[in-house]
Amino acid sequence: MPAMSNKPVDANYRYIAAANELNVRIALRQQLLGLYTTLVLGLLAAMVALRPEAGSSRVPVEWLALGFPVASLCLVLLNYKTERALTHLRRFLAELEQLGNAHQELPSYNSDPAWAAGTNSTRRLHDYSAALLVAAAHAVGLGALWRIYPGHVGWDAPALWINGVSGVAAVLAMLWLARWSYRPVA
């Protein structure tokens, strides 16, 4: 068995490992939109399949409608978690870029505010897309609930209000996530 070396891991290897982790987190963040879309489409399919004309007895569609707020809350929380992880990784990368004042001699993606601002504004499109997806999902869910189950759901139905209010809250939360985006330390 070869003897283990006591040499520290070179900063380049640490940088590469953190950059790879960052890329994985970004890919996972994109996959969240697909997961959310799948959950919402499943909920809509169940609402249509259980409609009264399909021969089913009175179903507690209100419980099914509460799946929209649960899916949206999960999307918000997972996006928040991902944003915090991305920020943490980019801070680590920025520190590595500044070793030996290398950021003053070489372009530094995470240390230079111009690069970071550009990256944040581009990544902001993900937040807009997610917010739009949440708004559309809740609108379609409410429309299906209202149209398919007119006898079950009135203006005073808690499921209707919970769905609507949670949709607005989730959209606002998705738009608020930018506050936690990475910003280089001045």
Say how far residue 95 (Cα) sits from the centre of its chain: 26
- Farthest-apart Cα atoms in the chain, separation: 75
List helix spans (H) across the chain. Answer: 11-49, 61-65, 67-97, 113-148, 158-176
CA separation for the pair 17, 93 (Å, rounded):
10
Q: Would you call 91 exposed, middle or buried from its count of C-beta atoms within 10 A (0-12, 13-18, 19+)?
A: middle
Determine which of 114-123, 131-140, 166-175 has the lowest per-residue pLDDT on average.
114-123
Q: How sure is the predictor about 129, in pLDDT bands with cuts at 50, 70 and 90? A: very high
pLDDT at 186: 64
Domain boundaries, the chain: 13-180
pLDDT at 42 (0 to 100):
95
Distance CA(13)–CA(2), nearest Å, equals: 21
Confidence of residue 2 (pLDDT cuts 50, 70, 90): low
> What does the pLDDT look like over 46-93, one tens digit per residue?
888 887 775 556 667 778 889 999 999 999 999 999 999 999 999 999
